[in-house]
Structure formats: C-alpha cells, structure tokens
C-alpha cells in the first residue's frame, strides 16, 4: 500500500482531521462541500463519509486519482476536479467551502480573489474554513503569508465563528531535514 493511499485510508476514517474541520458539523449536517486544494483528500473523504456531496479540487492528478480510488473502495461519492485554485470558477454555490493550508501557495492578489470567490459561491448560512501560514513563520517559504488579523479582516461582513493565530502542530520537513512548527491563521465563518 502506498504512503498516499495509507494516509487516505487514515483520513477517510476521520483520523488527522482537525477539531476545527469537525466543528463544521455543528453548523452543517448535510449539503455540498468544495475542498479547494484537497491534497490527499482527508477533508473530502471525511465529509463524504458524513453524507455530504463533495467536490475535491486540486492541481495534482495523482492525488485526485487516489481520492477517487479510495472513495470508490469506501462506496463514497466525491467529484474530483483537476484545476488550479487561482483559475477555478464554480458553476454553483456550496454549503461549505474549505481552503486548508492551500492559499499560501498563491500571490496576494490571487489570495484575495480566491477568498472573494469562496465568499461569493457560499450559500446564505453556509460556512467557509481557511487555514493559512502567517508571516510569523520563516519568510520565503511560500509566495504569500498572511499578516496579523488579515484573514479575519476578509470576513468582517460574515459571522466569525472561530478565529485564531497560533503555532501549528509539529511535522517533519524533508526540505529542512527536521521537525518544525509554523505559525498559522485559521478562520471558521458563516455567511449571514
């Protein structure tokens, strides 16, 4: 079993899904989810297992293929879309839109555009979840790092359910050859 497939298996069982992602279920019990920058599909698989209609968006065909295979094995329905976040324009609105650790790969104008797209394509009463590295972590590791309270400022016209800026969990960085922690901003907001 490949490492990606093994991780997808863990994620589909709800392991390694953050409490913030799980907390979305307090506000939405069903509906549609757009997982922007779905990666290995942990969030897509989690929501599909809970009965949501899920669209997983990523620019990595191999990861999307693995999500499809895992979903099929688990008898889950997930629509996969091969597309770059900065070019994606949904043809419909969603109940939940997630951008977990994916927007910092964009430049600032693209981040602003992506967040506006998320807000525009969320149904009234719907939820947006974003987590992103901040400028408190080493400069130069991503094209754009959020400033203090910046992420929250994009949602001043929504009901902010949770907002935090803090050090993320430890993980092994192959590039740095050691365990590292990076500062993150996270928001969970409801469209009013």
Residue 3 lies in a domain: no
Residue 125 lies in a domain: yes
Distance of CA 171 to the CA centre of its chain: 18
Residue 11 lies in a domain: no
What is d(CA 85, CA 58) in angstroms, rounded to the nearest whole number? 7
Residue 82 lies in a domain: yes
Q: What is the pLDDT of residue 138?
A: 60
Which structure tokens are listed for 134? 């901040």
Residue 14 lies in a domain: no
Tell me the pLDDT of the chain (192 aa) as tens digits.
444 444 444 444 445 898 999 999 999 999 999 999 999 999 999 999 999 999 999 999 999 999 999 999 999 999 999 999 989 999 999 999 999 999 988 999 999 999 999 999 999 999 999 999 888 866 556 777 888 999 999 999 999 999 999 887 766 667 667 776 678 899 999 999
Q: What is the pLDDT of residue 10?
A: 46
- CATH number for the domain including 57? 3.40.50.150
Residue 171 lies in a domain: yes
Q: Cβ(164)–Cβ(131) under 8 Å?
A: no
Residue 45 lies in a domain: yes
Residue 25 lies in a domain: no
**Count of the separate structural domains present in the chain:** 1
Identify the domain containing residue 144 by its residue range. Answer: 30-190
């Amino acid at each position: 079993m490949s490492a990606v497939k093994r991780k997808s298996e863990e994620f589909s069982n709800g392991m390694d899904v953050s409490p913030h992602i799980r907390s979305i279920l307090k506000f939405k019990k069903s509906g549609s989810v757009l997982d922007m920058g779905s990666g290995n599909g942990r969030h897509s698989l989690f929501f599909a297992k809970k009965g949501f209609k899920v669209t997983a968006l990523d620019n990595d065909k191999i990861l999307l293929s693995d999500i499809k295979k895992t979903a099929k094995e688990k008898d889950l329905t997930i629509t996969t879309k091969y597309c770059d976040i900065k070019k994606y324009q949904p043809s419909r609105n969603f109940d939940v839109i997630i951008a977990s650790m994916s927007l910092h790969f964009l430049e600032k104008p693209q981040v602003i555009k992506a967040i506006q797209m998320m807000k525009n394509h969320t149904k009234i009463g719907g939820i947006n979840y974003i987590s992103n590295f901040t400028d408190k972590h080493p400069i130069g590791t991503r094209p754009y790092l959020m400033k203090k309270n910046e992420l929250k400022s994009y949602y001043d016209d929504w009901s902010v359910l949770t907002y935090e800026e803090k050090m993320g969990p430890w993980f092994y960085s192959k590039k740095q050859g050691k365990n590292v922690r990076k500062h993150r901003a996270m928001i969970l907001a409801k469209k009013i």
